[in-house]
Structure 1
Amino acid sequence: MDNPKYDRIREYLNGKRDPKTDEEIREWLCREPLHDEAEQALRDFWKQLPEESDLPQSRAAFDDFCRNIGSFGEPRRPWAIRWGRRVRNIAAMLLIPAAALCVLLLQRPAASNVEWCEFAVAQGHTDSLTLPDNSRVWLNAGSHLIYPRSFDGRIRKVFLSGEAYFDVAKDAGHPFIIKAGDVQVRVLGTQFNVTSYENMESVSVCLVEGSVSMDIDGDGLKRNILLIPGDVVRYDKISGAVEQRRSPVEAYLSWRNGGFYFNNQPLNEIAAQFERVFNVKIFIADPQAGETPYTLAFVNGESLDRMLEAIAGNDLRINREENMIVIRKK
């Protein structure tokens, strides 16, 4: 049975271009959830790549793949890093992870030889790295940072999923840009914290030193916000609401020393953060309890059990059942 959408995607990946449909195909490839035809076309195309452990051959195969993807400008839809993670087989054989694929698909010029890298931090850990421009980045548990092997263009651009603290090397001629979903943070040289996990309903930026420009480009919402030290901006991805206020920056940096700070965050998000940091599974049996917001700070090295007890108070019951922590209403 003929499948025109599948056939057109395969033709596109193999280098056959049609300006009338190329943009639509690029949107198919980065849509969440991925269409069945797009997913099958990608899987079939990847089967053409040599499954070799030899890095140069794998690198060459991936470069061929990138060249086949082609050249285009900024799309109307924001790229979705979460789509890249749904494909695991390509990550096993390439130095550049599957999570970078949509970045390359939507951002990479055809003539560029940009070499993308990913720094991923597992659940239950934190880690740090130095970028090619000597900027320092500290990443919280379950975070991913995609960045080029070298900053060769007029901007220094990276992609974040998770939470990270940045100490950006000053370079007035080359602005530093962090893309985190619908939010883009632009700086010249400064220190700030960005929280943008995919399963959170909000994105937060906390400025420690210097100044940053925060651009929001969500569904039906476009805003530019300038921050000064001590400012915290929280963007609600669901409602589109934006809150800007003054706050002690130490609270937002407490995770670097094993602390936790939650500001009017639903229990679902708090539980997700505990899952990432402590590498546990937490199930909230009552949906209403999961939506209840809390403002809490734990900065004295409290254990997970102690923090859950404080959250539970007189309203919730905490039980450990097999390998899972279950939270229920009393």
Structure 2
Amino acid sequence: MTKDKLIRFLNNRCTEEELQEVIRWANTEVFSAESKGWVLSDWNTYREERNIEDDEKFGSVFDKIQKKIAVENIKRQKQKGRKQMLVSWLTRAAAILLLPVMAFLFYTLSEIAEIRAGASQSASAFLSVDSLEIIAPIGSRAVVQLSDGSVVHLNYGSRLKYPQTFTGNTREVVLDGEGYFDVAHNPEKPFIVKAGELNVKALGTAFNVSVYSDSNAIETTLVNGKVVLERNGSEQSSKVIGCMIPGQHVSYNVKTGIMLSSKGSVEKYIAWKDGKLIFDETAIADVAEKLGRMFNVDIEVEDDIKDYTYTVTFEDEPLFQILDLMTVATPVKYNAMARTKLPDGTFSKQKIVLRRK
């Protein structure tokens, strides 16, 4: 394995033979002394070349690279036979990103090992060795096109596990977080999103699923088509608990088993994929929960203001500008606490407290 081949792999420019070589390397040699030497070399080179301006721009550059990769992948799938090449500067960016990509490979191998060890218990045991995982970092959304042509948008901090190629009688993926699914129609192979205790099953449909591990609710919103909701039972059995119609929103409480349904405009549930936050008579506690996930902060709401609600739309607004607008619309104020340094040298999440003025 050479670094040039890895860079071609990162740019989706490698041949089928080179792809197989990368897969073999990831499975057998990724922890070798040579591979670790590449990581150390790239890290040292990056530290020598870095400057303040690069530090300030790195986050935005990474987001642009990620979005460009997603767009190019979608174009490549839609235009058969045409190879859409990424612009030349991406090659150098890919070399810089070699370190986090190798770290991702380490993580993926560990995940596969865990899946193999607990296959009988794991919700994602159906995933094979060729499984992939895409993660939308905090503060960034992601788009991925699956092998069947389905397109998935991932919200901040979400992750999707899916096979490189769908086999068998179903198309199954595992979601942790929030995703918008535009499913390619295939009546012979239902598309199933494994969302915690629920399965969301569709044929050719557009729908949204929210299944955050720190939330008691699993939410599904159907834009068009039809989906079936199933509750996972014992011994891998599933029980149908309902069918949804377009414009319907369902919230399932994992603790109580209670399912609430409403029908109307779905825009407020799916606008996030276009960079919008729509609140419609939304309780301040729910607003704080969404902002906390989006910006990776802890927002605490004091009891005496929990009856406040907001009807407003934000579009790609920074956190503190949103908080400032909230203080104008209602008699609240906020205090942003300083981050605390943890024993391992990292810093805690920032804590923000909302209270009455």
TM-score (normalised: structure 2): 0.59
Q: Against the structure 1 CA distance between its residues 182 and 315, is the aligned structure 2 distance closer, same or farther, given a 3 Å change threshold?
A: farther
Q: Which residue of 2 aligns with 1:326?
A: 352
CA–CA distance in 2 between the matches of 1:329 and 1:315?
9
Please state how far the C-alpha of 1:266 moved relative to its aligned partner: 5.9
CA–CA distance in 2 between the matches of 1:293 and 1:58?
56
The Cα RMSD (Å) is: 3.6
Unaligned runs of 5+ in 2: 1-23, 31-102, 340-349
Please state how far the C-alpha of 1:285 moved relative to its aligned partner: 6.3
2:217 counterpart of 1:191:
no
2:295 counterpart of 1:317:
no
2:206 counterpart of 1:205:
no
Matches within 5 A, 1:19-30: none
CA–CA distance in 2 between the matches of 1:108 and 1:196?
14
Q: Against the structure 1 CA distance between its residues 236 and 315, is the aligned structure 2 distance closer, same or farther, given a 3 Å change threshold?
A: farther
Equivalent position to 1:278, from 292, 295, 303: 295
Letter in 2 for 1:227: M
CA–CA distance in 1 between the matches of 2:125 and 2:119?
10
Please state how far the C-alpha of 1:155 moved relative to its aligned partner: 0.6
Deviation digits for residues 162-212 of structure 1 (CA, Å, limit 9, x no counterpart): 011001111110100001111110001111111111112211111111111
Letter in 2 for 1:317: K
Please state how far the C-alpha of 1:218 moved relative to its aligned partner: 8.0
Q: Which residue of 2 aligns with 1:240?
A: 257
Q: Which residue of 2 aligns with 1:175?
A: 190
CA–CA distance in 2 between the matches of 1:204 and 1:264?
18
Q: Against the structure 1 CA distance between its residues 114 and 265, is the aligned structure 2 distance closer, same or farther, given a 3 Å change threshold?
A: farther
Please state how far the C-alpha of 1:297 moved relative to its aligned partner: 4.0
8 Å CA contact retained: 2:283, 2:310? no
Equivalent position to 2:138, from 107, 123, 126: 123
Deviation digits for residues 31-71 of structure 1 (CA, Å, limit 9, x no counterpart): xxxxxxxxxxxxxxxxxxxxxx9413169xxxxxxxxxxxx
CA–CA distance in 2 between the matches of 1:248 and 1:227?
14
Q: Against the structure 1 CA distance between its residues 131 and 92, is the aligned structure 2 distance closer, same or farther, given a 3 Å change threshold?
A: closer
2:152 counterpart of 1:137:
yes
Q: Which residue of 1 aligns with 2:241?
A: 224
Q: Against the structure 1 CA distance between its residues 273 and 149, is the aligned structure 2 distance closer, same or farther, given a 3 Å change threshold?
A: same
CA–CA distance in 2 between the matches of 1:100 and 1:260?
38
Deviation digits for residues 127-153 of structure 1 (CA, Å, limit 9, x no counterpart): 100111111000000001011111111
CA–CA distance in 2 between the matches of 1:159 and 1:93?
20
Q: Against the structure 1 CA distance between its residues 97 and 192, is the aligned structure 2 distance closer, same or farther, given a 3 Å change threshold?
A: farther
8 Å CA contact retained: 2:277, 2:315? no
Q: Against the structure 1 CA distance between its residues 118 and 264, is the aligned structure 2 distance closer, same or farther, given a 3 Å change threshold?
A: farther
Letter in 1 for 2:332: L
Q: Which residue of 1 aligns with 2:20?
A: none
SS in 2 for 1:106: coil
Deviation digits for residues 215-264 of structure 1 (CA, Å, limit 9, x no counterpart): 23489x96511111111111122333211111212221110121113567
Q: Against the structure 1 CA distance between its residues 235 and 264, is the aligned structure 2 distance closer, same or farther, given a 3 Å change threshold?
A: farther
2:82 counterpart of 1:56:
no
Q: Which residue of 2 aligns with 1:249?
A: 266
Letter in 2 for 1:215: E
| Deviating more after overlay: 253-262 vs 179-188 | 253-262
8 Å CA contact retained: 1:91, 1:98? no
CA–CA distance in 2 between the matches of 1:214 and 1:111?
19
TM-score (normalised: structure 1): 0.63
Unaligned runs of 5+ in 1: 1-52, 60-89
CA–CA distance in 2 between the matches of 1:265 and 1:202?
16
Q: Against the structure 1 CA distance between its residues 142 and 94, is the aligned structure 2 distance closer, same or farther, given a 3 Å change threshold?
A: closer
SS in 1 for 2:204: coil
8 Å CA contact retained: 1:136, 1:166? yes
CA–CA distance in 2 between the matches of 1:109 and 1:199?
19
Q: Which residue of 2 aligns with 1:79?
A: none
8 Å CA contact retained: 1:137, 1:164? yes
SS in 2 for 1:93: helix
SS in 2 for 1:138: strand
SS in 2 for 1:253: helix
8 Å CA contact retained: 1:268, 1:290? no
Say how many residue pairs are matched: 246
Letter in 1 for 2:352: V
Q: Report the structure, 1 or 2, having the larger helix content.
A: 2
